[in-house]
Amino acid sequence: MPSPTTRRRFRSHRWLLPLTAALALTFTPMTSPSANAAVGGSFVDNFDAFDTGRWHKADGWSNGGMFNVGWRADHVWFNGGVMGQNLDTASCPSGCSGKPYASGEYRSNDLYSYGRFEARLQAVKRSGTVTGFFTYTGASDGQPWDEIDVEILGKNTTQMQTNYFTNGVGGHETVINLGFDASTGYHDYAIEWWNQGTINWFVDGKLVHQENGSRGALPTHPMRIMANLWPGTGVDGWLGPFSYPGTPLTARYDWV
């Protein structure tokens, strides 16, 4: 893992490259968000601290279904310019539906429209897990389920899976060979979502995949920016089986 000094040196250099610094570089939305969330503008967050004006931590509930985990706010931490998410066997309140594991999920307060969304992160290597960076909206925002994903599956951290959902319809998975192990260091993962009708995925500044709607309509609704770490249940064919190693697993995010 790079030292804090190395990470901050990278931060000063990345401004020299157009569009590579900001996770959220946004443009005018095509539709209005729910009443409880504004459409946010461009920003960079170096994760020096928990910015409550921009983010919140999921706490005391579960996504259900294939997520074998409940979210705890204290499982998202900040130290030395890094945001970490721990996965362990801590108990979780009743809203977690008796899930056997606890982990962290970080969610933007605002919704964001077309633009570039980027994160520098180090994924977890463990069968059955997903380190995720994605955009999402759904019924809780008074909108259809739209989503755009970067997912590192812990069973093979030399690959990245892309996907998107439009009005709840997914099935657009693509597996990308990274050429490195995403669990051994920090790398940059970016989504460019444009109203011209494309979604582009980049790794370390290199275009690795594009969707143009030929496999199904692309998302159109403003979405929240999200990051999480979770183990699956009932999806061993996709993620592989999960067994807890006895010590916490940690995904790390350097900046967005």
Residue 158 confidence (pLDDT) = 98
pLDDT beneath 70, residues of the chain: 1-36
* 3 state SS of 4: helix
* Tokens encoding 233: 């249940």
Rounded to two decimals, what is the model's pTM? Answer: 0.87
Alpha helix segments (H runs only) across 154-252? 236-239
Residue 49 confidence (pLDDT) = 98
Domain 4-255 -> CATH class:
mainly beta
Give which of 253, 248, 250 is closest to 90, Cα–Cα: 248
Q: Which residues are catalytic?
A: 147, 151
Residue 81 confidence (pLDDT) = 98
Tens of pLDDT, residues 107-127: 999 999 999 999 999 999 999
Residue 27 confidence (pLDDT) = 47
Tens of pLDDT, residues 57-97: 999 999 988 999 999 999 999 999 999 999 999 998 888 88
- Residue 194 dihedral angles phi and psi, to the nearest 5°: -115, 145
Residue 59 confidence (pLDDT) = 96
Query: Tokens 């812990």 sit at which residue?
Result: 154
* 3 state SS of 51: coil
Positive or negative, the CA dihedral 37, 132, 30, 194 is: positive
Residue 28 confidence (pLDDT) = 39
| Bridge partners, residue 70, by sequence | 102
Query: Tokens 């294939």 sit at which residue?
Result: 66
